[in-house]
Amino acid sequence: MVPAPLPSFSVAFPAPDPLGAEPQAGPAGAGEQRAIERLLDANLDRAREGLRVIEDWCRFGLERPDLVSRTKDFRQRLGLCHQASLKLARHTATDPAAGMAHGAQAERQGAAAVVAANCGRVQEALRVLEEFGRGLPGPLAGEAAAIRYGLYDLEVDVLRAAAGPGWRRELLQQCQLYLVTSPVTNLEAVVAAALEAGVRLVQYRAKAEAPGAAGPMISDQQRLAEARALRQLCARHGALFLVNDRLDLALAVDADGVHLGQDDLPPAIARRLLGPDRLIGRSTNRIEQLHQAVADGCDYVGVGPVNATPTKPGRDPVGLDYVRQAAAASPLPFFAIGGIDATTLDGALAAGASRVAVVRAITQAADAGAASAALLARLAQVRLDHPGAQLAEQP
């Protein structure tokens, strides 16, 4: 007796052989459709199992209910897409790859390796579900795509949680190029190109324009949307993301920290609100301010403006003398800032800087990725030439 057509598809299939033999394709396309059903079932199983591995480590290993909740949400959403029609297509006995293993599975040492492997496993399965699910009714393809992008962020958060509370400061120590954004029409693309080139420290800076000043006004809603998009970009690339001035915005998008000017909230208040693990940077333009930033518990300082720059209108440049002072006296990582670009970089390096922060050198470059790569290459050469330089400091 031939069963009624399965609810998700328009093609009816012949009844399976009672001895377990796989039925031959009947109408044209039925064999391919059955193969797709089996493929979707296998990858839904794979993705849900991998998510459960991640979820249980977040629960018992990290004791992070927030990460458990996010992982469980992904797993439950996929469960709702796992229709009975797909499960009924399962036929393990005729699967040529059933039970197949790889030697790399035995080489995973420690929980972090297991979690990373399962994140990759889930991402691969989701891509298959997205590709083969597009022609089917229901939400499977869309959910697979959304969860895959969400998992990129979750993976970074899980691995960072496993690394312990000091990972932000450890990553900060490695950063030599600091991108500070300015309002440009293609901001997300610019930051994406810089991240692809290797930038691992980004600050979102969108100052409110004073009445009569050049440039468009920007609303808090726009700031929130831009900061959230850049935060997600940085998370996918394993980069630190900070917000200039606005502690509320930094908290709203779960930024890695905040950068404060001399007229902003005191660092002690920022620390109380941010907690002990996030980063606080401080702008300084003389050595006394640098010493105060150290006393205030800041994690790094900006030193400048070294040169005159339109991002600091009316601010006299401090020149290279302050860079030399900071190189001799700063126990914190410091970033020379202010008009730093390919033409002025060597002067800052010669004065003792090994880290720089830039704005226009990347945001206004014809090719943001190429500009970032060139700056990073020059800074890396400083590290090679002077391995005991400022990069060895501890905050």
8 A C-beta contact, residue 194 and residue 202: yes
Q: Per-residue confidence at 313, pLDDT binned at 50, 70, 90?
A: confident
d(Cα 318, Cα 303) in Å, to the nearest integer?
A: 9
Tell me how far CA of residue 135 lies from CA of 4, 83, 140, 279, in angstroms.
Answer: 21, 15, 10, 46
Predicted TM-score (pTM) of the model is 0.71
8 A C-beta contact, residue 75 and residue 55: yes
Specify the pLDDT at position 10. 40
Q: Per-residue confidence at 368, pLDDT binned at 50, 70, 90?
A: very high
Indicate whether 216 pLDDT > 70: no
Specify the pLDDT at position 160. 83
Tokens representing residue 354 in the block: 């090994």
Indicate whether 18 pLDDT > 50: no
Specify the pLDDT at position 91. 72
**Percent of the chain scored above 90 by pLDDT?**
68
Q: Per-residue confidence at 22, pLDDT binned at 50, 70, 90?
A: very low
Q: In the predicted model, what is the mean pLDDT of the chain?
A: 86
Q: What is the pLDDT of residues 372-389, one digit of tens each?
A: 999 999 999 887 665 555
8 A C-beta contact, residue 92 and residue 142: no
Q: What is the pLDDT of residues 26-64, one digit of tens each?
A: 444 788 888 999 999 999 999 999 999 999 999 999 999
Q: What is the pLDDT of residues 71-97, one digit of tens each?
A: 999 999 999 999 998 999 887 655 565
Specify the pLDDT at position 332. 97
Tell me how far CA of residue 370 lies from CA of 55, 197, 331, 364, in angstroms.
Answer: 39, 7, 32, 12
